Amino acid sequence: MRKTAVFHLVLLLGTLWLVAGCDDDSPTDGDADTDSDSDGDGDTDGDSDGDGDGDTGCQEDEQCSDDVFCNGAETCQDGECVAGEPPGCDDGDDCTDDFCSDRTDECVHSTRDSDGDYHGDVACGGSDCDDSDPAINPEAPERQCNTIDDDCDGEIDEPTPLQLTEDGGYSFGASLVWTGTELGMAWADDFASPNEIHFTRLDVDGTFLMDPVAVSDTVISVEPSLVWTGTEFAVAWQEGIQEGVNTKYRITFARFSSTGSVAGSTPLTDGAFYARLPALVWTGTEFAVTWSDSRPVEDSFHPYFNRLSSSGEILGEDLRMTENNTDLYTETSIAWTGTELAVVWTELVGGDYSIWFARIDSDGSMIDSPQRVLNVTGQFCVNPRIVRTGSGFGMTWSDGLGIYFARLTDDGELEGDTVVLSAEESDLTSAAAIVWTGTEFGIAWNDYRDYANDIYFTRLSPEGVELIDQVAISHGPMDAVAPAIAWTGAEYAVVWSDFRFGNNELFYSRVCVPE
């Protein structure tokens, strides 16, 4: 029993001695540390150089690199990582933007681009003609009538076509008016059904201010003539009436509020014969309308006239303005002088084309007999258009190959020389659209030259002298025809029908007048 107790005491003392000797002091430095103090300085953080502040553990530069070129090369100094010095990319050239690229690990020197539009300053060999404005560069759209070369092509405010309709239908024959604050437009369109007359309002940029509304609902309606009265819109058009397999035409009239609400329509002719190609004007108190009519014999056409009240009521009997019979669909044009009406039309009699002029008083009576303005033997002479200037008239017409302009006196006499507007290389033209601004004429027409049928535009002085070089404003690969024009008080607005996408759609352009 005693021997066993002694043995256990010895075993316990031996165990205590072994535990006391395990202080991890290696090599033996006498400090009884417990943290692998390899240098014997008493610290506990792996200070390999013995400077007492601890180290980062780096041994070489590669251990410090963040693989980013543009913040400089990091280095290992005294066991610590030290940030590098970014590379100096300034090449001392004022015409370059200098920067460091982490993508290519190099300094890049690009042409100066102060406005950040990704086009270098033209003064430094780039293509940006105004490096202070990001909206001006070779890829920018040409904003109209701001006297700025927005697209840096060397031209200021050149016409830029804007597509108005995009319905896959047949949009054609627009009529355009300016109200003083916005544009009104009527046209024929068959996107939903057989051709109907549609109406909408536009701002000067060509933005629709309302959804288009259909005015007509017959078999086919075409050739709208739109006016603005100062408080509302009104339109007359050619409307088809189905009779068995035949379609005859009548003239129909409608009014719209200033916001485009339709106030109802009124037939002006009965449709018993063929009534075509209306022209409408507002006199300040009532409407006047002219058209071509086949009565009383269906194979002969005559120009007719009538007056309408401000509410669209017919005020008198239809007035036939000539006794001559003609085989041509006689197209008329009408203007108000302030005291009377002037009307022009084309006749084809005995193989000769001629343009006639008539004056009608405010009561709807002929002032004197119509007179022949032009007589052309064996040559086309069609589509006359007339506008009032304040001391006479301006008139355009076509012979199928060219567009012509002439001035007329108040009595319809030719005044001065005839001006040929289309170029010698023109192969095909049709009706021109003409407007008087108060100081000059603006004229647009379709003209086939340079293997393209484009809409061309020019400006004429009151004497008929061209003020600019003629400019093509449609720029399409296919036919552009049937222009309409309006003056806004500061610029021209032109609409036309364009076949560039395989079907006729309406396009619009502003044409600016330099101050």
Q: Which amino acid is at 480?
A: A
Paired tokens of 408:
């007329």
Distance CA(466)–CA(239), nearest Å, equals: 38
Q: Is omega for the bond preceding 194 within 30 degrees of 0, making it cis?
A: no
Q: Is residue 26 part of a domain?
A: no
Helix (H) or strand (E) segment spanning residue 9: helix 2-20
Q: Residue 374 domain-assigned?
A: yes
Same domain, 257 and 320: yes
Confidence of residue 419 (pLDDT cuts 50, 70, 90): very high
Question: Among the three residues 77, 108, 140, which one is the final residue of a domain in this structure?
Answer: 140
pLDDT: which is higher, 504 or 291: 291
Per the domain annotation, does 218 fall within a domain? yes
| Band of pLDDT at residue 216, cut at 50, 70 and 90 | confident
Phi, psi of 229 (to 5 degrees): -95, -10
The answer to whether position 150 is within a domain reads no
Lowest mean pLDDT among 64-73, 263-272, 375-384: 375-384
- Domain presence at residue 169: yes
Q: Sorting pLDDT into bands at 50, 70 and 90, what band is 51?
A: low
Is 367 domain-assigned? yes
Residue 8 pLDDT greater than 90, yes or no: no
User: Which range, of 50-59, 112-121, 326-335, 481-490, averages the lowest pLDDT?
Assistant: 50-59
Mean pLDDT is highest, among 58-67, 370-379, 469-478, for 58-67
Q: Is the pLDDT of residue 113 over 50?
A: yes
Whether residue 323 is found in the same domain as residue 440: yes
Which pLDDT value is given to residue 192? 62
| Angle value at C-alpha 313, between 309 and 314, nearest 5 degrees | 95
Number of domains in the chain: 2
Q: Which two tokens stand for residue 198?
A: 């549609």
189 lies in the same domain as 131: no
**Upstream peptide bond of 303 is cis (omega within 30 degrees of 0):** no
User: If you average pLDDT over residues 217-235, what whole number do you get?
Assistant: 92
Listed ranges 138-147, 151-160, 370-379, 383-392; the one with the highest mean pLDDT = 383-392
Residue 121: φ, ψ to 5°: -60, 130
Please give the model's pTM, rounded to 2 decimal places: 0.77
114 and 203 in a common domain: no
Q: Which domain holds residue 117?
A: 92-140
Residue 309 lies in a domain: yes
Please, what is the average pLDDT of the chain?
85
**Which of 186-200, 255-269, 449-463 has the weakest average pLDDT?**
186-200
Residue 422: the pLDDT is 82
On whether both 107 and 238 belong to a single domain, the answer is no
* Percent over 90 (pLDDT), the chain: 59
So what's the pLDDT on residue 345?
94
How is residue 27 annotated by DSSP?
A: S
> Are the beta carbons of 376 and 351 closer than 8 angstroms?
no
Q: What is the pLDDT of residue 167?
A: 72
Q: Are residues 435 and 392 in the same domain?
A: yes
Residue 378, pLDDT > 90, answer no
CATH number for the domain including 273? 2.120.10.10
Domain endpoint, select from 72, 105, 140: 140
Same domain, 425 and 314: yes
Q: Which two tokens stand for residue 85?
A: 């010095």
Whether residues 441 and 369 fall in one domain: yes
Q: Is residue 100 part of a domain?
A: yes
pLDDT confidence band for 433 (50 / 70 / 90) = very high
Greater model confidence, 169 or 116: 116
Q: Given the DSSP bridges, would you call strands 340-349 and 352-361 parallel, antiparallel or unpaired?
A: antiparallel
Indicate the residue type of 446.
N
